[in-house]
Amino acid sequence: MLVLDGVVKSFGGNRAVDGVSCSLAPGRITGLIGPNGAGKTTLFNLIAGAHRPTAGRITLDGRDITGLPPHRIFAAGLARTFQIPRPFAAMSVLENVMLAPGGQAGEAFWRNWLAGGSVAAQERQVRESALHWLDFVGLSALAAEPARVLSGGQRKLLELARVMVAQPRLVLLDEPGAGVNPALLDTIVDRIAALHRQGTSFLIIEHNMDLVASLCDPVLVMAQGRLLASGTPGDVLRDPQVVEAYLGATA
């Protein structure tokens, strides 16, 4: 569903992503692991349109999305969450979920997204959908609270609800397990698995190997901007090149 062909991103002389080619099959939860600075987040930024590739091509379901702005890529069915979610602290949890993604003027975005009807009817539709997804991630009881009361893990769940309102086919999650307490981590894993069963595909950057092993197959490994290995979680974690890349990065 997503194909990367020779994707490069240079920052000055530093090739943060150095010729990555791979394809993601639909219906999978693909993991993306690698030591700090390997280029994982930069690759996400390229796929989601936050950065323009220096070279290479990215296609989504056969459509060239290389260099498109984030809101166009989102509208094409690809959503992403951030490593450190920053909800609008003073707005309610529900209002945060109702916000249009990608810095769009909310009203105009949803008007294009939804078919016909009055503005009031459309707002009702977005609100109902937001409430549904809040319930799905277990945050309904906090809908009216300001987002500032949410813990790190709850903010991750809020982000998940927020992207699901537009029903993307492929979701990029940047470290869903980072800074999340063990009880909420189980909820996050369970919700991702449920969305996967309902047909959503995922690409997940994660350092928590338990999370990777329980959700992801296949797993892609990046090191120094390049794709180093891919396979089942068991295979890649046993791969001597992968072990060396991690040890080298911490040496």
Ligand X SMILES: Nc1ncnc2c1ncn2[C@@H]1O[C@H](COP(=O)(O)OP(=O)(O)OP(=O)(O)O)[C@@H](O)[C@H]1O
Binding site for ligand X (CB under 6 A): 11, 14, 16, 34, 36-42
Please give the structure tokens belonging to residue 214: 């329980």
Q: How many CB atoms lie within 10 A of CB 185?
A: 19
Q: Identify which of 243, 178, 249, 163 has the alpha carbon closest to the alpha carbon of residue 212.
A: 178
Q: Which is nearer to ligand X, 9 or 109 (CB)?
A: 9
Provide, rounded to whole angstroms, the least separation between the CB of residue 39 and ligand X.
Answer: 4
Q: Which is nearer to ligand X, 16 or 20 (CB)?
A: 16
Provide, rounded to whole angstroms, the least separation between the CB of residue 43 and ligand X.
Answer: 7
Q: Which is nearer to ligand X, 16 or 98 (CB)?
A: 16
Residue 217 Cα distances to 32, 57, 79, 201, 220, angstroms: 10, 24, 20, 11, 9
Q: Are 52 and 67 in contact (CB under 8 A)?
A: yes
**Rounded to whole angstroms, how far apart are CA atoms 163 and 88?**
15
Q: How many CB atoms lie within 10 A of CB 69?
A: 13
**Rounded to whole angstroms, how far apart are CA atoms 182 and 145?**
23
Provide, rounded to whole angstroms, the least separation between the CB of residue 140 and ligand X.
Answer: 32
Provide, rounded to whole angstroms, the least separation between the CB of residue 229 and ligand X.
Answer: 15
Provide, rounded to whole angstroms, the least separation between the CB of residue 171 and ligand X.
Answer: 17
> Strand, helix or coil at 139?
coil
Beta strand ranges found along 61-133 (DSSP E): 63-64, 78-80
Q: Which is nearer to ligand X, 36 or 118 (CB)?
A: 36
Q: Which is nearer to ligand X, 167 or 224 (CB)?
A: 224
Peptide bond into 218 cis (omega under 30): yes
Q: Which is nearer to ligand X, 37 or 106 (CB)?
A: 37
Provide, rounded to whole angstroms, the least separation between the CB of residue 141 and ligand X.
Answer: 32
Q: How many CB atoms lie within 10 A of CB 215?
A: 24
Write the CB contacts of 25 (distance below 8 Å, at least 6 apart in sequence).
1
Provide, rounded to whole angstroms, the least separation between the CB of residue 251 and ligand X.
Answer: 16
Q: Which is nearer to ligand X, 11 or 88 (CB)?
A: 11
